[in-house]
A and B are shown apart, each in its own frame.
Chain A
């Protein structure tokens, strides 16, 4: 089966990453995960979309995003960056932080799958 897209997920919890992988891989996505924010740039090559946890220990998603944006600056087609949060107030500020979009209801994997599907469809429609 051809991949529906390459998704990079950055979260500090291995368990969360594994659960997301188990949910999304059967749907046809190529999933790359990491708990690190250092050295993540190589994972972003060829990625369509990056899902970034807003709250990692000692880090704020907005700051991490700035570094990642700088890393993909030279790419012909840089990935989209989506915030992943369960806080509606924070979700409303995703543009302010510099994200391309926000995935809500963190922890609800079915919901994440649908939101990711919608984001990928929009990406292809825009292209």
Chain B
């Protein structure tokens, strides 16, 4: 491709010069051909004239030759001088070797030429030489003549004419060329130059438009250019608008976006945040920018190593190396550390990695939230663990702590009532109470309670060490005690939630069962009221008996491939001692049965229009006699007919039996396969037997497709 920076020979000049040369050459060739022809015609005419002169001269001189009159011949030869162009004339008598008379007009005329022997015409070097024989009246040759006529004058005239033609041809060529130049300039090269200028302006991003005249090809080119320029302008406007929108979007996204090259230099920013991120940093190198002085040297070292490897590796190694790029950055800004997540995007040129686009998103708030959540979770877990330890130990120490603390707080509140400011004489008592409370709270991992107690302690300490006149308003102290009470209530709530017996744990004492049995045997049967109270003392909270079942149920569900929620109701309900001995095993069996045979697998439940997760509700409530316990599920229910057929096929006599007896005898499964959970049909009869021994019995109701309910109620014969 030609180098446009070199000065080009203008197109018009090329055309004009070419045209001028062609015209001039054509003129010259034409004039040459024409003049050549004219010259030949001229020579022919001249030859003819010279022949006539020579003939007349020979005829005229015949008498003088015949008579040998040399004087007449000499005089007549001189008369040839009157004829234009005669260069030489001569007359020979007989065959004399020298002319009898001769005329020499030009110096180069021949000297003593040989006498002609026959008539001849020669044309040589612009000289026509004609000889003729002189004859007597009888026709006999008696002498000869020669006339030479030069064409020098004709040649000069001819040359002048030729020069004139050449001149006019050149002049015509020049005129045509100039005219052509002017026309080309106006019609072609001028518009093309304007177009070139407009294109250059367009390339520089300026608005460019060319004037269009006429409808010829150049005009059409101009129109096409204007349309193209308009399209480019429109596109550029759209691009600029898109770019502005994108920039606004990028600015609002709050991301630092910048480009860096192979040597680590920052080659451009793409967001407002990037400019802010760079700020007044003196270095334009990405390494020091991300990891300035004072940050972790190892991170910068790792980043520089990665950058070098990435640019060296090119496109083929990018994906692999991207995994080794830093994912997060800690960056000090405004006196606090910000966390950024880092994304790197490559800009390739062929195989070569040309630039890397860095997108850094400020995730400080997210990280702080995560840390806060983790910390809260840790505190909560500590509290839960502490509560479980307390529960496992009976929890009564903690209950006593709660009671004592509340008593202490009430005492303080009473002491403060009616006062405006905390009385100086109470400061020591309150301080000691808070100090004790803080230590006790630490024993129970009650961080919030300890923190509130310490706040009051610190405040009182300020008061103790302050000068006279400094006071603490009672309202402030009351408010702080209220906060302390609230955190105590939270701890109590957590304690109750973790207790298998719920709120009952707050009202429970530890009694040895053996002691109770001994007392009951010592009480005479005539004291039923006292016996009833003793039996209530021996009773166990339902929550305590169902606790293990609730803990194990998720594992059973997982193993059975079902999803079920276990809902426990009536945790505080007191279960008589006789039933409590067997109830854990019974409930375990019933809940396992509900999971294995009741609740359907999720896909089956969804197909039946039920929630994916089933519900197994275990409930205990006081009854007229003892308690009533139910285990019901929202599963598929018992297919009684299928169960009867299955039992009969196994040779069992089940005709006329109720459903409870049927499931106790035949088991719940009508399936041929037997797994770990479903058992082999020998579980429920054992359950019935256990319950019977405790004075209770099992009832079963079921609705196909809706669920099954097992009820444990006191047997009629054991009811008083």
Contacts and interface: CB of A to CB of B under 8 A. Distances in A.
B2 to A, nearest CB: 49
Contacts, number: 51
Contact of A115 (B298, B303, B324): B298
B288 interface: no
B330 A103 contact: no
Given A110-B330, A117-B328, A124-B324, A103 B306 contact: no
B295 to A, nearest CB: 9
Given A103-B298, A110-B330, A115-B296, A121 B324 contact: yes
Contact of B367 (A110, A117, A118): A110
A118 to B, nearest CB: 4
Main secondary structure of the interface of B (DSSP, over half): helix
Interface residues of A, number: 17
Interface in B638-652: none
A64 interface: no
B309 interface: yes
B305 interface: yes
Given A103-B298, A122-B302, A114 B309 contact: no
Given A22-B374, A104-B296, A114-B296, A122 B330 contact: no
B328 A114 contact: yes
Interface string B300-330: 0111011001000000000000001111111
B374 A118 contact: no
Contacts of B371: 110
A101 interface: yes
Contacts of A124: 324
B305 A114 contact: no
Contact of B296 (A111, A121, A122, A125): A111
User: Of residues A104, A121, A122, which shows the largest number of chain B Cβ atoms within 10 Å of its Cβ?
Assistant: A121
Contacts of B328: 114, 117
Interface in B669-712: none
A111 B330 CA distance: 8
Given A110-B330, A111-B330, A125 B324 contact: yes
Interface string B423-467: 000000000000000000000000000000000000000000000
Contacts of B327: 117
B330 A118 contact: no
A100 B305 CA distance: 16
Contacts of A104: 296
Contact of B326 (A22, A103, A118): A118
A45 interface: no
A117 B26 CA distance: 88
A125 B310 CA distance: 10
A103 B378 CA distance: 26
A125 B320 CA distance: 10
B299 interface: yes
Contacts of A119: 298, 302
Interface in B143-162: none
Contacts of A115: 296, 298-299
User: Of residues B301, B302, B325, B367, which shows the largest number of chain A Cβ atoms within 10 Å of its Cβ?
Assistant: B302
A89 to B, nearest CB: 15
Contacts of A101: 298
A121 B306 contact: yes
A101 B271 CA distance: 36
B301 A118 contact: yes
A22 B373 CA distance: 13
Nearest to A113: B328
26 contacts: A103-B298, A105-B296, A110-B339, A110-B367, A110-B371, A114-B296, A114-B299, A114-B326, A114-B328, A114-B329, A114-B330, A115-B298, A115-B299, A117-B327, A118-B296, A118-B298, A118-B302, A118-B303, A121-B302, A121-B305, A121-B306, A121-B324, A122-B302, A124-B324, A125-B302, A125-B306
Which 6 A-B residue pairings sit nearest by Cβ, starting from the closest?
A118-B302, A118-B299, A122-B302, A121-B324, A118-B298, A121-B302
Interface of A: 22, 101-105, 110-111, 114-115, 117-119, 121-122, 124-125
Given A110-B367, A118-B301, A125-B324, 20 more contacts: A22-B374, A101-B298, A103-B298, A104-B296, A114-B296, A114-B329, A115-B299, A117-B302, A118-B296, A118-B298, A118-B302, A118-B303, A118-B326, A119-B298, A119-B302, A121-B302, A122-B301, A122-B302, A124-B324, A125-B302
Interface of B: 296, 298-299, 301-303, 305-306, 309, 324-330, 339, 367, 371, 374, 378
